[in-house]
Each structure stands twice: as structure tokens, then as C-alpha cells.
Chains A and B, each alone.
Chain A
Amino acid sequence: MMNVQDIRKQFPILHQEVNGNPLVYLDSAATSQKPAQVIDAVERYYKEINSNVHRGVHTLGTHATDAYEGAREKVREFIHASSTEEVIFTRGTTTALNMVASSYGRANLSEGDEVVITPMEHHSNIIPWQQVVKATGATLKYIPLQPDGTIALEDVEKTVTENTKIVSVMQVSNVLGTINPIKEMAAIAHRNGAIMVVDGAQSTPHMNIDVQDLDCDFFAFSGHKMCGPTGIGVLYGKRQLLEKMDPFEFGGEMIDYVGLYDSTWKDLPWKFEGGTPIIAGAVGLGAAIDFLNEIGMDNIQQHESHLAKYAIEQLSTIEGVTIYGPEKRAGVVTFNSDEVHPHDVATVLDTEGIAVRAGHHCAQPLMKWLEVSATARASFYLYNTEEDVDTFVAGLRKAKEFFGNVF
């Protein structure tokens, strides 16, 4: 069991008032808060060892390189990759998915080929594929969703064909909280000769990830949603695929030899890390992984799924509230109130110090599928409590009361 009160003490930002009320932060699916040990690790990096990596022979350069490559090893262990050669640091999930679409997609897609995704994807797992099919003449196909916002494997079987070259799906929905059957989907993709790409932005912060067990070919996630800094993310890729891919960016860190008219690249993973890398970000991500490991990913997942269940129970007691998504879900609760527009809900809650997200959550096709223009979303992390849920539900009642009065 984890002690949430002890955990909360480690997050300086949580101990403040917003609009005269104690902050209740329910927007961790957008970005998580950072514990002191992550903030300290980044500060210590800049105060004590800041230097460029993999170049120069001076001592600080060695320390910085050790810290950067040490973080890569932490990531490898965290997602159970077989080698650090398969762990590429990127700016975030969006960049990682764009790297796959650009470097792998453009080289391996042609007319008649298919890319298969789902309508629940984040824009970052839609637009790169829209662009690559336009450039290559391939086709973009969608696996239909079940009415409760889940994916049925028979629909995956029907949609993925021998023409499919890439299947790309989010592991956890940032709107519905759906946990998708990635391992089974990867098996279907492979049986049809396609590769499996996973958007792990909403899963990696909240559950155990084993890329070898999932048998996915690429897996992308962001540091800032898992207690790490912004500006750092990871692309995991199977070595045999990465080796055949061209670099995504050219220059700086990624070179082996540069001539006047031709150049060669470094080995994996550095071939994909052009420019001075995101060193402080990687160090911060490493510290975040240490922090999460101390608490245990299973404990975190259990805690959040309990909070989601509790929030749904409480919200269900309010008349006119619609909750979207399946019963079994991650710590995300997206809802609408029939009288109050989600922006107005979010503004009223904000005056109470409660931070929720309102809008389309970077998932406009999913909003269309839900037949709404916007929704409000409360998302939970390891530092949230049942009291947070109670405050939020009371705030929502007040919003309804307020709008009920003016109507």
C-alpha cells in the first residue's frame, strides 16, 4: 500500500492556494506535477555537472555523459527493453510518433498499403499518419469502436489485412480511460505482416510497461506526464527496425564522419539524437523513474483505478451528468453536465481551486464519435485522494446550482 499523504508532501506545488482555495489538481493527463527529487536532480545537474555529452575530454563532460546514459539505462529497465540501443531520447511522444511516421513510414509505405489506427487516438497519433499516407499513396483505415469506447479484437481482425503495414494505437485513452489490448493487437498486426506502434503517453506513467511482453515494434511516451520534466520523451524501437531506418534529424550529436558531400551516422541509439541532446531532461526523467519505482507501478495503477471508480460513483449521484468511456478504465473520468458547458464547468471549478481540463483533449475525431463538441475531464495521479474527488464533486454541484440559478 502507498501512503498518499507522504507522497503529497514530496510535491511542492500541491501545497498552495488557488483563487483562495487549496489546489486540487485533477489535470495530470495533461501534465503531471513534479516531486522535489526530480526538481532537485535537474537543479543539481545544472549546478554541478552541466556540460555537453559525448565530446571533449574534460571531467564535467564525462559526468554529464554518465548522467545522460545512466538515465537511458533507467528507461530501458523501466520499460523492459532488451538494450539501451533501442531507447532513443526525443522531445516527447509527438516527436517520437512523427519519427516513426517519417523515418519508417515514408520508407516502407507505398500505394495499396494501409495504416490502421482508431478514432480514439490523440491528434499526435493521427496527423503524422494522415501526412505520411498523403505522401506515399497509402490508405488510412480506422478500427471502429464499441459503444462503450473499447476496441473489440474481432474488429481488429476485420480491419487489419495483409495490405496493412502499420498498426498504431494508444495503450490508454486520454479521454475515455480505455485500456486497449495492445499485446493481442500486436499479435494480429504481426500475423498480417504489419508492425505495431504504441502511443504510451497515457499508460507509461500509470502502469508496468514491458515492451518485450507486448511485442510492440515501436513504443512512444513523454517524461512530463510521469513526474519528469517537459521536453523529454522516449521512442523505443526494435533494433532490427531502427537499424534500417534513416535518421530523423541531421547534424551534431548523430554524426560518425562528415565529408564535403557525404556523411555517415553513429550507431544506435545516437543516430536518432541529432543536436545537443536533452541532457537535463533525461536526468530529470531518470529521477522520476527512480521515484515511481520506489512507490511501485502496480500500487499507482491500483490507487488510480480506485479513484476513478470512486469518482464515477460520486458523479453518478448528480442528475444530468454523462460519463464517457468503459467501466474498467485508467484514472481518467471525462464527463458532461447537461445544463453547463464544459468551459463553464471548468471556470466555476477553477474559482474553487480545482483544476480540470475542458475542451476536445486533442481528440477531435473522438469528440465527433461521442457526438459532443467538448467535454470536461478529471484525471488522477498518485498524489490525488478521495478528498480531492469529494471537493471536485461538490464543486460540480455548485456549478450546476450556479447555472441553475441564472437560468
Chain B
Amino acid sequence: MSFNNLDQLYRQVIMDHYKNPRNKGELEGNDLKINMNNPTCGDTIQLQLKVDDGKISDAKFIGEGCSISLASASMMTQSVKGLEVDQAMKLSGIFSDMMQGKEYDEEEFDLGDIEALQGVSKFPARIKCATLSWKAMEKGFKEQGEA
């Protein structure tokens, strides 16, 4: 088998996040706790966020899932930390564009490790794995906005 396609999906940095997830665990004194399931496959994630003055001061997650969903959650918590809520939502939109294989804004944010997930867009069945933690964040802020 040529591992080429797979290598694009499972980049080294993704495997590193999968094997050594950043920000995994409970976040004491969290302001937001959001549960999100991927009902088609059984992946679950709980995202915990701390927000001070409209800024995400800390983010952690617990959950079970495949390499892509856990690596993505690890990267996501890393990249939204320190962002204003509306900035984080904007970044989520950029990530969603990237997953759908659309043109996306590479300038506004330092995408860092997240960009390694680009290869997922070529595996349509796995896009939901990558977006699970981002959807959890969006759900949390949307519900908070409504409350």
C-alpha cells in the first residue's frame, strides 16, 4: 500500500497530539462545560472553558474518540486559549472552511498545528471527527449568548 494518502491524513504532528494530548483533563473553576457526541460513530467530547472579560483564559477537554477527533481537540484547545470569544468563533469558521476544502483565510490567525489537519478534507467521512471539538465550542458560546 502506498502510505502517501494516509501520510497526508495522519501527519506526524497529528499523531503527536493524539499520543500526547495537550489540555486533556478537568478544568477547575470552568465557566462553560459542553458535551458533544458524534452519534454516527460514538465519539464523545466534553469541552471545558474558562472565560475572563470576554477572553478564553483556559480550555481543557475530556473524551473518547479516534486519532483525528482527539488530536483536533488537543490542537483546538491550544489555539483558542488567549483569544477573545468572537475571535475564537471566527477561527472556528476558518477551520470549518479548511475542512470543507474551501479557500480559507491563512493570514488573520497563526494557524500553527491546526494546518496539519488540512489532509482531513480529502477524507469526507472523517471531517466530523475533526470538527467535533470546534462544534462543541460554538455550541457553548451560542447557548451562552442566548441565555
Contact = CB atoms under 8 A, between A and B. Distances in A.
Contact of B66 (A343, A351, A398, A407): A343
A348 B6 contact: yes
Interface hub of A342, A348, A373, A406 (most chain B Cβ within 10 A): A406
B8 to A, nearest CB: 11
Interface string B1-23: 10101100110100100010000
B43 A402 contact: no
How many interface residues does chain A have, given as a range? Answer: 20 to 34
A217 B67 CA distance: 46
B41 interface: yes
B1 A352 contact: yes
A344 B1 CA distance: 16
A360 B41 contact: yes
Contact of A402 (B10, B12, B126): B10
A367 interface: yes
Given A347-B9, A347-B125, A406-B15, A341 B67 contact: yes
A407 B15 contact: yes
Given A351-B1, A406-B10, A407-B19, A344 B41 contact: no
A364 B42 CA distance: 8
A347 B15 CA distance: 15
Given A359-B41, A373-B42, A406-B12, A343 B68 contact: yes
Contacts of A358: 41
B51 to A, nearest CB: 29
Given A343-B129, A347-B126, A351-B1, A359 B42 contact: yes
A296 to B, nearest CB: 36
Contacts of B104: none
B109 interface: no
B10 A374 contact: no
Interface in B59-102: 64-68
B144 interface: no
A34 to B, nearest CB: 22
A60 B63 CA distance: 58
Contacts of B19: 407
Contacts of A341: 65-67
B88 to A, nearest CB: 26
Contacts of B42: 359-360, 364, 367, 373-374
A19 B19 CA distance: 28
A342 B1 contact: no
B53 to A, nearest CB: 37
B44 interface: yes
A172 B70 CA distance: 34
A116 to B, nearest CB: 26
A72 B115 CA distance: 56
Contact of B44 (A347, A373, A398): A373
Nearest to B70: A341
Nearest to A352: B1
Nearest to A348: B6
Contact of A374 (B5, B12, B41, B68): B41
B126 A343 contact: yes
Nearest to A350: B125
A180 B64 CA distance: 31
Contact of A347 (B3, B12, B123): B123
Interface in A389-407: 395, 398, 402-403, 406-407
A401 to B, nearest CB: 9
Q: Which 4 A-B pairs have the closest CB atoms?
A: A343-B66, A359-B41, A360-B42, A341-B66
Interface of B: 1, 3, 5-6, 9-10, 12, 15, 19, 40-44, 64-68, 123, 125-126, 129
Given A341-B67, A347-B123, 13 more contacts: A341-B65, A343-B65, A343-B66, A344-B66, A347-B9, A347-B125, A350-B125, A351-B5, A359-B42, A364-B42, A373-B64, A373-B65, A406-B15
30 contacts: A341-B65, A341-B67, A343-B41, A343-B67, A343-B126, A343-B129, A344-B66, A344-B67, A347-B9, A350-B125, A351-B1, A351-B5, A351-B6, A358-B41, A359-B41, A360-B41, A360-B42, A367-B42, A373-B65, A374-B41, A374-B42, A374-B43, A374-B66, A395-B1, A398-B1, A402-B3, A403-B10, A406-B10, A406-B12, A407-B15
